[in-house]
Amino acid sequence: MRKDVLLLGLCMVLMALPVHASSKLKLSIAPSLILPMGDFGDSDSFEDGLAKTGFGIGIEKYFPLKSNNVSIVVNCHYIRNGVDTGELEDEFLSELLALGDDPDVTVNPDVDMDFGSWINIPFLGGIKYETPISPSTNLYFIGLAGMNYSRMGSRIVEYSGEGVVGSGYHSADFHFDGRIESEYDTNTSFGFCLGMGIMLERFNVSVRYYNFGKSDFDGEYSSRFYWYDELTGSETSTDRGDEELEIPVSFLQFQVGINL
């Protein structure tokens, strides 16, 4: 989190420096709503992005060219999306409950998942074309390309359960619990943004589509499983290793900018 904020702060400082050098330069502060698209927003499997609707805040700089209709644009946004683990928790719980399909086993399991949040910080540049639709309003189209710094949260699964195996004199109580944790490195990928909007004197409203392709997230996992029953006693097993997830990152951005 600290690294994310420092990177965003550096981008904003670098973009804001030229503001005082020329009155022709324009600056916009832009809060936004972020809607995940495609696999980035799907929540069917562990390999999906699982991203929920999020929010963003950014800064955008316009450098007008000789033609008043065309500007060079650079921007930087901090974008955060929560993670939806509901379907995965239900699926994992169903697998644990399946132990009770054996008529000699009764089980009462519990599952908790915490997958943190997605952080994306795109730093893009490109062209904006404006055309007037009224004396105080311009319609604009924008095309950008650049780099995206992306970080997915640690994925933690904790589960436990207790029950009875057998019946009558041959029954035994049992208990189990486990934890699986995966941590991933940050990823930097190239992508683009296309959008359109309305430019007013003090505000600009736009909708934009961002696509950064499939991002490879290298990580490490560790797991622990503990089992105890009255007949055989207790047993603990552990495992750790490397893993890699390939997740496409794309989203729609609904932005309301404040022109300074």
pLDDT at 171: 77
H helices, E strands: number in the chain: 2, 11
Distance CA 260, CA 249 (A): 31
Which helix (H) or strand (E) covers residue 92, if one does?
helix 86-97
pTM: 0.85
- pLDDT for position 21: 41
The tens place of each residue's pLDDT in the chain, 260 residues long, gives 455 555 555 555 545 545 444 446 688 899 999 999 999 999 888 888 999 999 999 999 988 887 778 999 999 999 999 999 989 898 888 888 877 677 777 788 899 999 999 999 999 999 999 999 998 899 999 999 999 999 999 999 999 998 887 776 677 888 999 999 999 999 999 999 999 999 988 899 999 999 999 888 999 999 999 999 888 888 999 999 999 999 999 999 999 999 88
Angstrom CA distances, 41 to 86, 118, 154, stand at 13, 11, 17
One-letter amino acid identity for 80?
Answer: R
* Radius of gyration for the chain, computed over Cα atoms and rounded to the nearest angstrom: 25
pLDDT value at residue 9: 55
* 13 beta partners: none
The CATH number corresponding to 2-259 among 3.40.1000, 1.10.287, 2.40.160, 2.20.28 equals 2.40.160
State how far the Cα of 21 lies from the Cα of 15, in Å rounded to an integer: 12
